[in-house]
Structure 1
Amino acid sequence: MGITEPNANQISGIAVVPPGLEDAAAAELTALGCHAVSPLRRAVRFQSDLAGYYRLHLQARLPFRLLRELAQFPCRGRDDLYDGVQRAADWARWLPPGTTFRVDATGTAPGLNHSHYSALQVKNALVDLQRQQWGARSSVDLDDPDLALHLHLGGAGSRDGSTATLSLDGSGGSLHRRGYRAAMGLAPLKENLAAGLIALTGWDGRMPLADPLCGSGTLLIEAACLALGKAPGLGRPFALERWPDFDPQLWQQEREAAAALALPPESPLPPIVGVEQDAGILEQARHNAKAAGVAAALDLRQGDCRDFEPPPGPGILVCNPPYGERLGEQGALEPLYADLGRMVKERCSGWSLWLLSGNPELTGALKMKASRRIPISNGGIDCRWLHYEIR
């Protein structure tokens, strides 16, 4: 197998996404110009060019990471992995000894059942090659490497179905970190999951949106960023900016295009209302909204969800109430769910309610029948994004 070189004009990639958002993420990637888009489990396969790959980092709201494939090769054991990695790329260009790197691994292959061991094999293959060629080796940097490599083992592609895919991680830190959320409540919803949940509601910024249990405000902030065209990746650095084929002019073009999508913060939007009973958490929500540049678009109020009065509808209600994970909490939360159900039925006729449920028994206290139940994983908790039409 000869050395392969990543082709900037034809990038094969994987977007790593929250479980349950694969189809929504596929739609987002398609809208951003990707082709050959295919949802997988917790991921979406796509093809793009370098400009499109840059665009995804700046504009895509749902992925955790965006991986760019370096090489794919049959892997029936650790020797295949070792040899395949050494031949996967022109390492003199991509990983000279003066640069730092890290390796993450997922999946399994014969004799490679532990991700830490598989990552170690990739590291050994690379530093052994460097010592042979240059008498020096790169250092491993787990926090901020020049090159972040990702190995995935498994899938079809060889006679026994074992394939290794070696990719570059263009993201650096996880893309869910937008930079606005220094302040969080007790059970924060990751920003990309919140953006995905809003996408699943179909809300497009043309009707009122409200969260009667808004916590630190992530659902509403992500909704406002969407409505105002605020690209999520403009305020942060990316690992791809340190790659040897990084194109500063193309990157700047994509940055300018992403920035041009933004509407003025004071642009007229329908009401986006959040209610939070805890004054300290409400202050966090206001801080986060200001840091995200959308404070002017949000009406964040202190109050009890039982007293919520919706703006003139129809509109969409969203909420992520507590699930009662700790012993004794469920009994205390049942009245909250019952009162929430009573409030929306009495005051929100003509609206839709979308509620993230991690506890079917608590959701039963709403005394409402969901018209859709979308499986979602929130921090490892098996949840459902439930849709109710309020008559």
Structure 2
Amino acid sequence: MSYLELIATSTFGLEAVVAEEVKDLGYKDIKVENGKVTFLGDWEALCRANLWLRVADRVRLKVGEFKAVTFEELFEQTKALPWPELIPGDAEFPVEGKSVKSGLFSVSDCQAIVKKAVVESMKKKYRSQWFEEKGPLYKIEVALLKDTAVLTLDTTGAGLHKRGYRELSSFAPLKETLAAALIKLSHWRADMILVDPFCGSGTIPIEAALIGQNVAPGMNREFVSESWPNIPRQVWRTARKETHDLAKFDQPLEIIGTDINEKVLGLARKNAFEAGVDQGIHFQKMSFNEFRSRKKYGKFICNPPYGERLGQLKEVESMYRELGKFLKEFDTWSYYILSSHPDFESLLGERATKRRKLYNGNIKVHYYQYYGPKPKKRKERSTEVGLHTGLK
């Protein structure tokens, strides 16, 4: 294949953030649709996208797209695609499927037909009537939307949110990809203090540290396509070397995570150590309203409790009111808060500068963004006092 059409899948509402990441990697011909960002590249692009994309869910290799309103059309057009150019004769190639608003609504039948069509296509090249499927994994997906079929190969394996640093977590942890998106949407920079006053097991502070030190999120994990023989090993080696060359491990950071639960803070410290960013983050047990700082400018980024459990809503609403009073003390800071409560702004006591509808798992949430004044130029800040958190 002269070029590859790659798809970075995305959580609803984050497509533009993923597209910006793809653009920052140097790739063009970007097409943004609901739940995905399509772009052109080569094998190197496939490797680099898996290693560097922080907000995408996974990277798929697009094999074909066509209209299919009958099973015969699905079979014949799938069979015509260049499967033997991509899948070796000993590969394992299971088929997964989904169908939305399509005449071919039986997912199990669609999977079976695609599997049969791929086998028929491969029989010609490999001159075999049977494939043992004991080799590298090439997972096929057939996705039908409004009678259009898109067939892809998964190049990632475990989702991109699996960075490799979080073996343990607190209850209902924030996904790493969503945490990275919250930071990117805040336009936080490594030379500014960042505080998460509800840090839990530390996902937001850790993702911020990885961003601040330009550490590729996939640096310490493996991907299913690393075992594909059609990707030269040197391509993966070069892509991985780039992640080490571009990392700024010595970049100083001012990231603070606080929580009232000592147990989850223990997890946060362990996760930060596993991610290699423990030196750039300070975790402390304290309530959000105990935090103090003499820094003139900074950013709060947090995912406080939603009160989804029965009996917790009143408690959470009271906490939001207290949070609003607390944030008024930091009137030159910016704050970014994720919440599912429909009256969040009223409870906080202030309308957001901007809000964005997102999903945290299956929960519809809004990302409330409150912009503080722009920091003064460095010369104007030269008389500011150093950091004082009020930590014991």
Please say whether Structure 1 and Structure 2 have the same fold, judged by a TM-score greater than 0.5. yes
> Residue in 2 aligned with 1:134?
128
> Residue in 2 aligned with 1:282?
265
Aligned to 1:267, the other structure's residue is in SS state coil
> Residue in 1 aligned with 2:368?
386
Q: Distance in 2 between matches of 1:218 and 1:288?
A: 8
Aligned to 2:332, the other structure's residue is in SS state coil
Q: Distance in 1 between matches of 2:366 and 2:299?
A: 17
TM alignment of 1:1-391, pairs within 5 A: 7=1, 9-91=2-84, 94-96=87-89, 98-108=90-100, 111-127=103-119, 133-139=127-133, 146-154=137-145, 162-264=147-249, 266-269=250-253, 271-310=254-293, 312-346=295-329, 348-389=330-371
Q: How many residues align?
A: 371
Summarize the Cα distance change of 1:108–1:340 in structure 2 as closer, same or farther, 3 Å threshold: closer
Gaps of 5+ in 1: 1-6, 156-161
Q: In the alignment, residue 26 of structure 2 is paired with which amino acid?
A: G
Q: Deviations over 1:137-166 (max 9, x none)?
A: 345x9xx961111222236xxxxxx33221
Offset at residue 341 of structure 1 (A): 1.0
Q: In the alignment, residue 365 of structure 1 is paired with which amino acid?
A: L
Q: Deviations over 1:251-280 (max 9, x none)?
A: 21111111111122x4322x2111110000
Summarize the Cα distance change of 1:72–1:138 in structure 2 as closer, same or farther, 3 Å threshold: farther
Q: Deviations over 1:219-244 (max 9, x none)?
A: 11001001111111121221222324
Offset at residue 363 of structure 1 (A): 4.6
Q: In the alignment, residue 153 of structure 2 is paired with which amino acid?
A: L
Q: Deviations over 1:192-229 (max 9, x none)?
A: 11111110001121211001111111011001001111
> Residue in 1 aligned with 2:387?
none
Q: Distance in 1 between matches of 2:309 and 2:123?
A: 53
> Residue in 1 aligned with 2:381?
none
Gaps of 5+ in 2: 374-392
Q: Distance in 2 between matches of 1:343 and 1:185?
A: 25
Contact 1:201–1:354 at 8 Å: present in 2 too? Answer: yes
Offset at residue 93 of structure 1 (A): 6.0
Q: Distance in 1 between matches of 2:208 and 2:5?
A: 30
Contact 1:275–1:303 at 8 Å: present in 2 too? Answer: yes
Q: What is the TM-score normalised by the length of structure 1?
A: 0.89
Offset at residue 49 of structure 1 (A): 2.2
Q: Deviations over 1:7-39 (max 9, x none)?
A: 2x4211211011111111101100101111122
| Range with bigger deviation, 288-297 or 308-317 | 308-317
Q: Deviations over 1:334-389 (max 9, x none)?
A: 1111111111112x120001000111234532111101011111101111110123
Aligned-pair Cα RMSD in Å: 2.1
Q: Distance in 1 between matches of 2:102 and 2:198?
A: 49
Contact 2:80–2:121 at 8 Å: present in 1 too? Answer: no
